[in-house]
Structure 1
Amino acid sequence: MTLQLDRIKLTNDQIAWRAAQDIADGAYVNLGIGFPEKIARFQPEGRDVIFHTENGVTGFGAAPAEGQEDWDLVNAGKKAITTKPGAAFFHHADSFAMVRGGHLDLAVLGAFQVAENGDLANWSTGKGAVPAVGGAMDLVQSAKRVAVVTDHVTKTGAPKLVDRCTMPLTGVGCITRVYTSLAVIDVVDGRFVLREKLPALSFDDLQSVTGATLNVTDPVADLAVPAL
């Protein structure tokens, strides 16, 4: 099964593209450090999404071309950014006041584990890890909606979607939707509800690499993305 998944699963760019399609025009959105930052590249034409970074910027745009970086303009992941008309700069404390005040419509984070009740584990005390949960703790409890982008399984093939998290929690009952390399899954009333899956993957095969029961309440759509 692992070799089969490697052939058919979505790339990180494709997962980010799929997540970007669901972000509403005019939404204020925080993108987590690393993989979630890719979402900023794939906003549908005609939508104006206001991206927020916890180090103190709203209204940043796509990454600059190589060699055109202004290293005074970076996001929380220390990646170079550009600014769009209307962008604003503010103190780090004010940025967290925006987060804690419930002013973000959406936060998108990566994950080590997501439980069927919506619990999130996305930090680790393991070897080589930075032993701190960081701003994610504030984001998951304060944003109006919290989503995850992630591979469906770990590098060793273990499920990332589980019945209960075994790693340190970032937040409790906070996740509403998960975009994985194989499927789009909602968290509804403490259950995983399958919304979309790769057409090349059967339901039974998807269930076999998921560590909790997948429920189906409506017809499951094909997870279709462009070749990026």
Structure 2
Amino acid sequence: MSNWTPKTELGRKVVAGEITTIQEALATGLPLREPPIIDLLVPDMLEEVIDIHMVQRMSDSGRRVRFAVTTIVGNGNGVVGLGRVSGKLVRPTITKALDRAKLNIIEIRRGSGSWECSTAVPNSLPFEVSGRTGSTRVTIKPAPPGVGLVTNQVGQIMLKLAGVEDAWSFTKGQTQTIYNFANAMFKALEKTSTTKLLPGQDDFHNMIKGVKQE
């Protein structure tokens, strides 16, 4: 990291100390094109490889084999990213997929949006959200404390890395494709942040956006 020379305006601002948090970086609106930016701003980032599968294609020169890798990164505190890359070798492709996930990082809103919830702790989502990729549609609903993450293994990994402790998820369509499911859930989580709220509505359901400050 000490040998990293930033090539983008955002990278130079991070190195200069003008930007010190991921919230500030995303708020600039500048494109995020260098993974070391995330390494500096989110040092506690966790990484998970959720899928590696072989893709074979026939060409004039014979059969070509490539590997498609899907990864998730997150700090367990309101920041999560998803990446998918294909390549000839597994290890370099995993590294590239993790870098892609870092460049796709988003902040999510969390809250206690379940009608059964009486706690002030933002343990879940503030409201129901849905996302779709191909024929796969994923809906995430807020849940009260103690329910846990009621979804499949991929969904549990993504929600945990995003900092969500309790939630229900429901799926429709073709859910066997891991990337389609993960991307649909990622799009749903993104809507927690992009949905426009009325003035003062942030106070409802104990909403917080991004990293929760202790």
Q: TM-score range by the shorter chain?
A: under 0.3
Radius of gyration: which is bigger?
2
Report which of the two has the higher share of strand. Answer: 2
Report which of the two has the higher share of helix. Answer: 2
* TM-score w.r.t. length of structure 1: 0.26
* TM-score w.r.t. length of structure 2: 0.27
